[in-house]
Amino acid sequence: MFIKSKYIDLAFVLKPSASSDYSIDDLNKQLYSCVRTSHVETVLRLLACGADPNFINEETSGNTPMHVAAKESQHLQVELLYIYGADPGRPNGHGQTPASLARQEGNDKLANRLIELEFEVTDKLSQFLSGRKPDHTKDVHFLLPELAGQASESVKKYKFQLQRLKDNSFEKFVQDVYDEIDRRVTPNERLTATRNQMRQKLAKLDNHGFSLLIIEILKEAKRRHFGLPLPPEDLNQSFGKGLLDSSALSLGLATSPDEENRDYDEVADYMNRKSSTSQGTKRSSGARGVTSENEEHFTPSKKQNGSPAVSWDDYLELKENLQEALNRLTLVTQSSTELIKSQRILQRNVEQLKDQNDDLKREMKNIQQQTLLLNKLEILPKLEQYFIFPVQHEV
């Protein structure tokens, strides 16, 4: 029924009248007002039309639709908002989360559910490692198991790189680790080339190395959740080891010299294999060490001629967007070439059909002439019977 309503009847498509003037702000305000009710279908329509599930209403102390739905004990609205990307742990202007508002209204069940949604990713990581989940009812939100080999240099490298990731990059990285728990990821054509490279790197880790990486992710997620500062020893070591670029981990570019030609660099995008060797060298060397004097001339994060600084994330993202545009242009060119070839084939077929039609016409004309001739030959004997003259005998 839902599929028919959405794709056939287009019930969730915004169809404003000619005089109406809908904007995203109007949709956000309608969503904010509607989540306090039980009209789930209306909220779904607003979200499908582009309403922001994390819309912040400054007039009400910075509440979001999730705060309103939690306060009004709308369980279905909370689940729907979460599916569309609402943050169940975002505090409002008074520092209140949706879970705390639900608990104030006496709805402990909804409050516990909101906490489960908030820690869904880290709970799954903990369950993968130890088979157990933290007991959130006892304010235990992170379960950090201990494994042998956590003090190795490779684990410290993971730790320093994770600490230097921006929140957005850390979120993308955790998404791929979350997917890797279920299966070894394969290249996804909908993602960028560098994102696929990182996913392929995760597939190379063995079970022990992958578990160590998850433990460091849990530690870093716990530190960011509670807003804890970096330990002094981690600050000194991370700044003294060449400052491994954060984008190298988030985008899968932190390769060693003997891994530059591995398979995971080849599956990202077939167009990347056509790029020049010098560009690939610049890219890999720039991700491994930013402090080199030669790299300072082309590192985007440097300020040159008074221009604003550009991070490696922005630079690589722009480069990937350009590469994707070139790929699309190549596909369009190939499609145009194929269409031209098809048109030529059709023209040849039409010409052949015309020739065959002319041949058929000539054959039909010959057949008609032969038929007329045969008809004449059949009529002659009959004419001789009608025109017989008597023979005169001599007396």
Mean pLDDT value across residues 274-298:
39
pLDDT at 388: 54
Sorted by where each starts, the structural domains of the chain and their CATH numbers stand as: 2-118 (1.25.40.20), 122-276+283-297 (no CATH)
Residue 47 gets which letter from DSSP?
Answer: H
Task: With a cut of 50, say whether residue 52 has pLDDT above it.
Answer: yes
Tokens 């490279």 label which residue?
197
Q: Which of 155-164, 287-296, 304-313 has the highest mean pLDDT?
A: 155-164
Percentage of the chain modeled with pLDDT above 90: 13
pLDDT score recorded for residue 202: 65
85 and 120 in contact (C-beta within 8 Å)? no
Mean pLDDT, the chain, as a whole number?
Answer: 71
Going by the DSSP 8-state scheme, the letter that residue 19 receives in this structure is S
Instruction: Give the span between the Cα atoms of 93 and 86, in whole angstroms.
Output: 17
For the residues 63-83, what does the mean pLDDT come to? 91
Q: Residue 66: what pLDDT?
A: 92
Contact 216, 156 (CB under 8 A): no
Which of 181-185, 323-327, 357-361 bottoms out in mean pLDDT, i.e. has the lowest? 181-185
* Residue 170 structure tokens: 């850390």
Q: How far is CA 354 from CA 140, 343, 358, 366, in A?
A: 82, 17, 6, 19
Report residue 65's pLDDT band, with 50, 70 and 90 as the boundaries. very high
95-141 per-position pLDDT tens digit: 888 998 998 888 889 988 988 888 888 888 787 777 777 777 777 77
Contact 203, 263 (CB under 8 A): no
Q: Which of the four pLDDT bands, split at 50, 70 and 90, describes residue 174?
A: confident
| Mean pLDDT computed over 337-349 | 91
pLDDT band of residue 321 (cuts 50, 70, 90) is confident
- CA-based nearest residue to 164, from 100, 230, 232, 215: 230
Per-residue confidence at 187, pLDDT binned at 50, 70, 90?
low
